[in-house]
Amino acid sequence: MKIALCSSFVPFVHGGARNIVEWLQFHLEQEGHQVERVYLPQVDTPELLFRQMAAYRWVDLDAADRIICFRPQAHLIPHRHKVLWFIHHIRAYYDLWNSPYRGFPDDLKHRGIRDALRAADDAGLRESKRIFTNSRVVADRLKQFNRVDGEVLYPPVFQSERFHCRGYNDEIVCICRLEHHKRQHLLIQAMRHTRTPVRLRLCGTSAGSDYPASLRRQIAESGARERVTLEDRWISEEEKVEYLADCLAAAYLPHDEDSYGYPSVEAAHARKAVLTTTDSGGVLELARDGDNGYVVEPTPQAIAEAMDRLYLDRAASEAMGARAQARLGELGISWGHALRRLLA
C-alpha cells in the first residue's frame, strides 16, 4: 500500500510530534508498505494561521492509497481515504483559551479567529474515514469541542527493548524539552524541601533561552545546587537509555499534557517508577498513585515528600517500577496493535 504520513512541524524544533511519524514510517516499511512523509511548517500566531491552513487544502496526495494525519493542521488535507492519529488541537484556541497560555487578547478579532478555526477543524475532521487519538484526554477534547468520537490508540516508543533496568542510584531524572509548561521549575523548588540526599537530573533542549536561564538561576538559589544537574542540550537516545537504566525514578510534571508523554513510557520500559502531578493530564492514564509511581499535588512540598519516599524505600520504588512496566501491556501499547488499527 502507498501511505502518506502527513503532519506539521515547528522549524528547528524536534520532539514527540515528529517521533510518532518517523517511528510509524519505520514499522510500516518493515511490513512492506511504500511510505512518504509530508511535513508543512506550522506556527500558531494568529496572523499566519489561515494562510497556513489554506496551504494544507492545496496539497495533492491522490497518488497515495491512504493518508494518516497527525499534528494540526494536517487533518485539513483532502483525500478519499484519510485516517487521523490526532495528537492535539491548536490548544490556545481550544482548552487553553481561558488560561495564561493563550498568548493573545480575548477580543473580538481573536474570538473570530477562534470560531473560524474551529469551524474549519470540524469540516476537516468529518472528512476522515477514522479518527484515532493518542490519549483519552484528546478524545474527550474532540468530543467536547468538535462533537466527534475518537478511538484511543496509545503511541509506542521506538525499539522499546533498548530500555532496561541496571539498578537504582540516588537520582530522579526528568528527560524532556525544557519548557515552562513542562514545569522543571517545580522539581528544582521541591529540592529545597527534601530531607534526604536525593539527587535530580534535568535533561533536554528548549525552543528559547529564557526558561533554561531561569532554571539555572533557580538551581543557584535553591540551596541544593550540588544535588541538581541541568543538561541544557540535546540528549541522545543512547544517553537516555543509560540515564534511565540507573536512576531511582523518573519525573514528568507537564501541565495538562495531551498524552502520557514519551518520558513516562520510556521510564516504564526501564522498570522505573513515574513521579507526576494531579494536573498532568494524559500522564494520569499511565501513572497511578502508589501503584506504579506517585501522583501528587503540583506543589514543591508535595513533590519533595514523594522524592524522599522514593529515596527512603528502595524496595517500594523497585516494585512500582515493575508495575509501571506491566501497565504498558494493560494499555495495549505496542506497534503491532497500532498497525492493525491504523490499517484496518
Write the CB contacts of 193 (distance below 8 Å, at least 6 apart in sequence): 300, 301, 304, 305
* Average pLDDT score over residue span 307-321: 97
Write down the domain spans for the chain.
Answer: 2-153, 160-330
* Residue 13 pLDDT greater than 80, yes or no: no
User: What's the confidence (pLDDT) of residue 17?
Assistant: 80
Domains 2-153 and 160-330 share a fold: yes
pLDDT for 328: 94
Q: What is the pLDDT of residues 72-93, one digit of tens each?
A: 999 999 999 999 999 999 999 9
Pair 154, 134: CB distance under 8 Å? yes
**Alpha-carbon gap, residue 275 to 246, rounded angstroms:** 16
State yes or no: pLDDT of 44 exceeds 90: no
Q: Alpha-carbon distance 146 to 95, whole Å?
A: 12
Closest CA to 150 of 167, 166, 158, 138: 138
Please report, rounded to a whole number, the percentage of residues in the chain having pLDDT higher than 70: 100
The residue-averaged pLDDT of 306-333 equals 96
Rounded mean pLDDT of the chain? Answer: 95
Q: Which CATH architecture has domain 160-330?
A: 3-Layer(aba) Sandwich (3.40)
**pTM of this structure:** 0.86
Between residues 44 and 134, the one the model is more confident about: 134
Rg (CA), the chain: 20
- Alpha carbon of residue 136 to chain centroid: 13
Of 73, 80, 35, the residue nearest 56 (C-alpha): 73
pLDDT at 16: 72
> In the structure, what pLDDT confidence band is assigned to residue 100 with cuts at 50, 70 and 90?
confident
The predicted pLDDT at position 250 comes to 98
pLDDT tens-place string over residues 200-240 = 999 999 988 999 999 999 999 999 999 999 999 999 999 99
The pLDDT assigned to 45 comes to: 87
Other Cβ atoms closer than 10 A to 32 = 7
Q: Please report the pLDDT score of residue 292 as a whole number.
A: 97
pLDDT digits (tens, 9 = 90+) for 136-193: 999 999 999 999 999 999 999 999 999 999 999 999 999 999 999 999 999 999 999 9
- CATH hierarchy code of domain 2-153: 3.40.50
